[in-house]
Structures are given as C-alpha cells and as structure tokens.
Amino acid sequence: MSSIRIKAKERKGEVDVKCLMKHDMETGLRKDKSGKKIPEHWIQDVTAESNGKVVFSCAFNTSISKDPYLAFAFSGKKGDSLTISWKDNTGATDSAETKIR
C-alpha cells in the first residue's frame, strides 16, 4: 500500500487535487525518552505529473506537519492519469497513481 492517498476531481476543466502522505516528518529538534535527539527525517520534494507532464512540484521543510497534506489545482480532464511522488532526505521515495475523476 502506497503511503500516498490522492483525490483528484475535475470540475469545469479544473482538477482539484488533495493528497495525504504518510510520513513522520521528524524535525531533528525533538528528543526521545533518553534525551537523545531524534534525527531529521522529512520529505523534501513532491512532484505531481499528469500524462507525463509536471503539473505541480514543491519542496518541503521540516516545518510541514507530520503526515503532510497538500492541495492544489490545475487544468485537466477526467480520465487523465495523475502521479504524485515524494523523496525524503534519506533518499527514500514513494509514488502513487490515480485517475482523475
């Protein structure tokens, strides 16, 4: 199961995209019980592609909440594919694809 949940809905030629990514987004400032700092671990880059074209891309800092929520809108049509992928500071990546409804 992918860590990304996407909802993409078309209305009047505009696609509203909402997505939730499951990620700890550790800031590197938090401490565990023994007082040691928990190392930073966060999503740095998020890219959204529709039909092979980048429609939205953004970069996150650690100041984005845990399990990041992101919403944006672009012009597209029903049935097109939408792929959202992220990459975190450890180099881990994940992506999910959906059809625009």
Partner 1 sequence: MDRRSVLKVAGVVSAAATALVAMPRLAMAAYTEKAFKAKGGADALQNAYGANATTPSDQVKLKAPDIAENGAVVPVEVATDMDAESIAILIDGNPSPLALTADIPAGTKGLVKTRCRMGKTTNVTAVVKSGGKLYTASKEVKVTIGGCGG
- Footprint on this chain of partner 1 (rule: CB under 8 A): 14, 27, 29-31, 44-45, 47, 54-66, 68-75
Q: Which is nearer to partner 1, 69 or 97 (CB)?
A: 69
Smallest separation (angstroms) from partner 1 to the CB of 30: 3
Closer residue to partner 1 in complex, CB, 3/74: 74
Cα dihedral across residues 95, 61, 65, 70: positive or negative: negative
Q: Taking a C-beta distance cutoff of 8 angstroms, is the pair 43, 86 a contact?
A: yes
Q: How far is CA 48 from CA 27, 36, 57, 67, 75, in A?
A: 24, 36, 6, 17, 13
Closer residue to partner 1 in complex, CB, 59/101: 59
